[in-house]
Amino acid sequence: MTTVNPNHAEFKTQDAASYNPVAQSFDRFVTQLSAPVAARLVALAGLAPDNHVLDVGAGTGIVALRAVAEMGPSGRVVGIDLSDGMLEVARQNARGRGLADRVEFRKMDAESLDCKDGSFDAVVSLFALRHFPHPETALQEMHRVLRPGGRLVLAVGSGAPWLSLVGLVHRLKLLPHVVRRFQGKQLVACKFLDGMVAAYVPSSGKSEEAGWTHEHTHMQQSVPAFIRAAGFQNIRSEWQGQQSIINTPEEFWELQTTFSSLSRKRLATVSSEVVARVRQDFMNTCREVLSRGGELVYPTGALLVSGRRA
Ligand SMILES: C[S@@+](CC[C@H](N)C(=O)[O-])C[C@H]1O[C@@H](n2cnc3c(N)ncnc32)[C@H](O)[C@@H]1O
């Protein structure tokens, strides 16, 4: 169980620091697993060739680099993040793709943007809102820096909506997976590692996630409501998800210790002997499941919400 830490400055510093050692593996997994949602997010932004775009919580740059590559030579992107490690990998990626003159990665807090009013045509943000202790402040900032008529598109991790065709189809497709899970033939990230880590390493009392995510578990309602409250109009939502099969227990471990805030942060607080014990238990369980003909699964689900500044 995660506890809520009232010291948000400390929370932000620790959250950013927790990404530094995993930035390279984060980049590798994001490239493998987040390309479809990043592509959809950029498509929803409806960018013109000369737009100026802000990517909030840019990480290693998957969205920022896609956006700048899709625009013309005068298109510009600023990606902001608080993690030095993530920013460094993002800058390397920009240089490696010959895009460094049109995309800039800056260290900045989403809740206090050092950007002029009305200076962007579009603001995008993938899988970052859940990290901000005050999402309403971050969204007001995104609204402030957008020009009138500018577009916001953000995505948060979320289960499939129950009352929609896409949600229904997704859940029907999941049925064989649920059967396999009950037969002990499927392990699902990041619940699998999080459960194991929570058993070995009790919470230190420090927040692993921003407190509001525990009060607002229904992202399909709360995120559009936050966006409306920040002053955006024409709000639209859609959902997309996929199940990825991970080939080896080693890859499954690295993926979850990279992507799960709980596991990443708790394992960083204990000795290497404890980490080795958790890893051994993890590997043994994965191998047992695979020997029964089972599979290691990483499900992703993203709620994409867009809005326009009046
Ligand atoms: C789950 S990662 C997503 C990164 C990237 N958008 C992607 O999808 O690959 C969340 C990112 O938000 C950043 N972040 C967390 N709190 C932040 C804040 N207050 N301001 C700016 N960035 C923040 C983290 O450092 C991390 O890089």
Over residues 189-248, the pLDDT tens digits come to 999 999 999 999 988 777 777 877 777 767 888 999 999 999 999 999 999 998 999 999
> 76 lies in a domain?
yes
Tokens matching residue 19: 């990404």
Tell me if the pTM is above 0.85.
yes
> In the 8-state DSSP scheme, what is residue 206?
S
C-beta atoms surrounding 19 within 10 Å: 23
- The Cα–Cα gap between 7 and 13 comes to 10
Range with lowest mean pLDDT among 59-63, 112-116, 145-149, 210-214 = 210-214
Question: Does residue 66 sit in the same domain as residue 174?
Answer: no
Indicate which residue's Cα is closest to atom 9 of ligand 1. 59
pLDDT-derived band at 154, boundaries 50, 70, 90: very high
Average pLDDT, the chain: 93
From the centroid of its chain, how far is CA 254? 16
Establish if 1 belongs to a structural domain: no
Which structural domain range is residue 222 located in?
8-160+207-243+300-309
178 CA → ligand 1 middle, Å: 31
- d(CA 42, ligand 1 centre) in Å: 17
For residue 4, pLDDT over 50 is answered with no
| Confidence band of 7 (pLDDT split at 50, 70, 90) | low
174 and 108 share a domain?
no
Number of structural domains found in the chain? 2
| 71 in any annotated domain | yes
Does residue 268 lie within any of the structural domains? yes
Q: What are phi and psi of 237, to 5 degrees?
A: -130, 150
For residue 1, what pLDDT is reported? 33
Please classify residue 17 by burial: count the beta carbons closer than 10 Å to its beta carbon, then call 0-12 exposed, 13-18 middle and 19+ buried. Answer: middle
- Report how far ligand 1's centroid is from the alpha carbon of 92 (Å): 17
> CB of 126 closer than 6 A to ligand 1?
yes
For tokens 């920013």, the residue is: 87
Cβ 83 under 6 angstroms from ligand 1: yes
Residue 259 in contact with ligand 1 by CB distance below 6 A? no
pLDDT at 75: 98
Q: At what angle do helices 23-33 and 35-45 cross, to 10 degrees?
A: 70
Rounded distance between C-alpha atoms, residue 271 and residue 251, angstroms: 22
SS3 call for 298: strand
d(CA 230, CA 233): 9
Site of tokens 């950007």: 115
